[in-house]
Amino acid sequence: MDQWLRNTNVIKIVALAIGILLWAVVRMDGGSVTGSTGLEIVEQQIGNVSVTPKYDNSTFFVESIDPPQVTVTLSGRESVLKKVMNTGNFSVELDLTKVGKGEHVLPLTPVGFPSNVTVKVTPATVRVVIDEKGNKSMPVTINVTGIPGVGLKAGQPVVKPKQVTVSVPSRIYDKVDSVRADVNVEKATSAVTKHATLQAFDKDGNVIETATISPAVVDVEVPITSPFTLVPLQIKLVGEPPRGFGVASVRQSTDKVTVYGAQNVLDRMEFYEGPQVDLTNLKADEEFTLTIPLRNDVKQLDPDKVTVSVSIVPSVTKTLEAIPLSFVGQNDGFNTKVVLPESGQLNLTVEGAPSIIEKLKPQDVQAILDVSNLPPGKHEVSVTWNLPTFVKKGPTQDFKATVEISAKAEAVNPAAATPAAP
C-alpha cells in the first residue's frame, strides 16, 4: 500500500478522479461555475401578466383594475428562469381583503416565484374600483325562436332550475329586469333539449355585461306538438231520474280539456262536447268514468277520460204561481194575445232536489207559446216549459192556451183627414 502512495502516477490519477467527482456534484447542485452554460445570472421579462384580485366575491364586485395587466421582470440563473417559464405556476396578486367599497391605489404582490429569483412588477401599483355586490333572485325566461315542422307547434318550455341568482354592482341593482336565453326550434319535429347560457337584461333589452348569473347554464326542453287549445269540456246529460228522486249535483273530474288538432279546427272551437251521461232510472249516487271521444278531426285530447259523479236524493215538489205566458215566432204585422186563460198566467208544480226547489221562484221558469206561421184567428197552442237544470214538471200537467191573432189596424194620418183650405 505504501508503495502505491509513493508512486506519483497513482496520485495523479486519484486527484483527477476526485476533481471529476467534485465538478459533477457542483453541476448537479446548480452551483456557479465560471464559464458553465445556464449558470450565469440573466434577466427576463414576462409581458401581459393579468392582475389577480384577492377578495370576498360574495360581498364585493371589482368594477375595474387599471391597468389590468402588468410586466414582470425576473433576474436569476438561466436554468431557474427556464423552469419558472415552463411551469407557469406564478401570478401577480392584488390584495383587496383589507379595503371596502370605493376607489383605491394598491401595491401588487408577485406569488409563486422561487426564492432565488428577483422579481420586479411594472407598474408596482394599480388603481382599483370596488363596489358592493347585490344578489337578486330572478325567474328564467326562455325565448323560443324559429318555426317547427309543418303542422307542429312549440309548447311551453320546461326549465331546470326555474330560478337563478344574479349578482351585480349595487349601483345597477334595480336595472336588472330579466334573465333570458334563446332556444331555436326551426323545423323541429320532436322535443328540443338544450343547455342554454343565460344573460341578464335591463328594461330596454340591453345585456348587462357586468352581471354574474349562478348557475350560468340551465337545462331547457321545448316540447313540439300539434297546435292545441284549452277549452271548457261540456258533458251532455240525458234523461231524468224516476218520480220521487232528483239530481242534487253533477261534478266532473275536469272542467277543461286540451285539444290538439289543425289550427283551423281549433280557431272555431269555443267548447268541446264530451260524452253523455244517462240519468234515467238513477235512484242513488252514481260515478261514471268515461272516455272523451275524438270529434271533428281532433288528433288528441288531454285528459282523454273524465269521471262524472251524480248525486241523487229524494225529491220534493213546489207550486209556482202566476207564471206569465210569452210568445215566440210572433209576426210584427199582427196583434197576438192570450184569450184563455184570461189572466195570461199559469201555475206549475215542479219537482226536484230540496236544495234546488227551495230556491226556485216563478221568474226562474218560462211558459212559452209558439205562434210561428199561424194565420189570423183563434188557435189552441200547447205550452212549452223552459225549466232550470235538474228541475222537472210534476205529473199530469199538459197545458194549452188559446191565442187570438188579428191584423193591426192601419194608422190614420190626421193631416190627410183634414179638408184642404179653399
pTM (whole model) above 0.75: no
Question: Residues 407, 408, 414, 416: is their CA dihedral positive or negative?
Answer: negative
| Mean per-residue pLDDT, 386-394 | 92
Q: Which residue is listed with cell 456557479?
A: 32
Which residues, including other chains, have CB under 8 Å from residue 63's CB and lie 6 or more apart? 129, 130, 131, 169, 210
Query: 133-225: what fold?
Result: RNA Polymerase Alpha Subunit; Chain A, domain 2 (2.170.120)
CB-CB contact of 358 with 379 (8 Å): no
How long a stretch of residues is the chain? 422
For the domain bounded by 41-123, which CATH number is listed? 2.170.120.30
- Residue 368 buriedness (CB in 10 A; 0-12 / 13-18 / 19+): middle
- Give dist(CA 176, CA 211) in Å, integer: 9
Which overall architecture, per CATH, does domain 318-407 show?
A: Beta Complex (2.170)
Per-residue pLDDT reduced to its tens digit, 298-323: 888 999 999 999 999 999 999 999 99
Return mean pLDDT, the chain: 87
- Give dist(CA 128, CA 119) in Å, integer: 22
What single string gives the DSSP state of each residue in 226-260? S-EEEEEEEEEEES-PPTTEEEEEEEES-SEEEEE
Q: Where are the domains of the chain?
A: 41-123, 133-225, 228-314, 318-407
Tell me the CA distances in angstroms from 250 to 87, 263, 309, one per residue in order. 80, 32, 6
For the domain bounded by 228-314, which CATH number is listed? 2.170.120.40
Per-residue pLDDT reduced to its tens digit, 214-248: 999 999 999 988 888 999 999 999 999 999 999 99
Q: What is the pLDDT of residue 35?
A: 44
- Give dist(CA 352, CA 391) in Å, integer: 5
Q: Tell me whether domains 133-225 and 318-407 share a fold.
A: yes
Phi-psi region for residue 281, left (φ > 0), alpha (ψ -120 to 50) or beta? left
Per-residue pLDDT reduced to its tens digit, 317-376: 999 999 999 999 888 888 999 999 989 999 999 999 999 999 999 999 999 999 998 999
Tell me the CA distances in angstroms from 31 to 22, 115, 179, 393, one per residue in order. 11, 15, 61, 119
| Band (420; pLDDT cuts 50, 70, 90) | very low
Per-residue pLDDT reduced to its tens digit, 80-106: 888 888 887 889 999 998 888 889 999
